[in-house]
Amino acid sequence: MASRAANKRLTREYKAISENPPPFIVAHPSETNILEWHYILTGPPDTPYQNGQYWGTLIFPPNYPFAPPAIRMHTPSGRFQPSSRLCLSISDFHPKSFNPAWEVSTILIGLLSFMTSEEMTTGSVGGTEAERKWAALRTRWWNNTGGGSFKGEGSTVSQKGNIKAGDGGVKFRTEWPELEAENWKWMKENRIDAATGNVTPDPDAPPSNSCGPVTGLRRPSGSQAIAGAVVEGGRAVGEEGRSWVARHKLLVAGSVIFTYVLIARLLGEGSGLSV
């Protein structure tokens, strides 16, 4: 339960951010809990996240603003592990570094700035630019369907706590009904399949004999799962950072053994010819 000071402060901040939202950011508290805020970051131009719709939560402590919120981003982005707490100087990972003068808008501006950088921390993931662009195209679909688990109107939330794929988009629909309606319209206009997030063929389009590449919401060729490599303590763990030798240990070992046997056989044959 929010303290009187936290309630007063967050009410004032909601009024301020509603009247003057920062660029690419909207946010509001839950109707049932002023300590639970929901935000949407729109991917800025000239970034891999351009036009992406990134939904997340700020969970404030009862003694805010004297302690920072837990920060999560639920929408897969290729930048953060979905629904994981993010270790930032403005989050609950570092309560001693939090400045009580910082507001909700300050926190979200800082999050957006960190997202568009390449700095790594706990909760970050490794991802290529192509993967992040691919994820951006799927954000509206993911938000509305809970990652393809939409069961139709009237479905209920099947889990508590962190929002992950599997709730059918119920939580998003509860917090962002207008955006949800816009997203369904966008999906219909772009023939996005609710189950898979892929573009379906246009039934009215004439058959095409083109050999050009197929476009749409397809994962980049050769890419790994969008979650990428989880980062702990600022170090990425994944295939991308490993050397060629480390990734082909069996091939290297086999070559060494083959070379050793060949040399030994040649030396043996040479010894047999000597007087």
CB 182, CB 40: distance < 8 Å:
no
CB-based contacts of 90, cutoff 8 Å, min separation 6: 68, 71, 98, 102, 106, 107, 110, 111
User: Are the beta carbons of 135 and 52 closer than 8 angstroms?
Assistant: yes
> Quick check: helix, strand or coil at residue 170?
helix
For residues 134-138, give the mean pLDDT. 97
With vertex at residue 168, the alpha carbon angle to CA 163 and CA 169, rounded to the nearest 5 degrees, is 65
Reported as a single tens digit per residue, the pLDDT across 224-273 is 555 433 333 333 323 333 444 454 555 656 665 666 656 666 666 555 54
Note the maximum CA span of the chain: 102
Q: Enumerate the active-site residues.
A: 87
Instruction: State the angle between helix axes of 104-115 and 4-19 in degrees (0 to 180), rounded to the nearest 10.
Output: 60
Mean pLDDT value across the chain: 82
Contact 133, 69 (CB under 8 A): no
Structure confidence by residue, pLDDT tens digits, 207-224: 655 554 434 445 665 555
What is the CATH superfamily name and number for domain 4-236?
A: Ubiquitin Conjugating Enzyme (3.10.110.10)
Residue pLDDT, tens place only, 39-70: 999 999 999 999 999 999 999 999 999 999 99
- Asked if residue 112 has pLDDT above 70, the reply is yes
Question: What percent of the chain is predicted at pLDDT more than 90?
Answer: 65
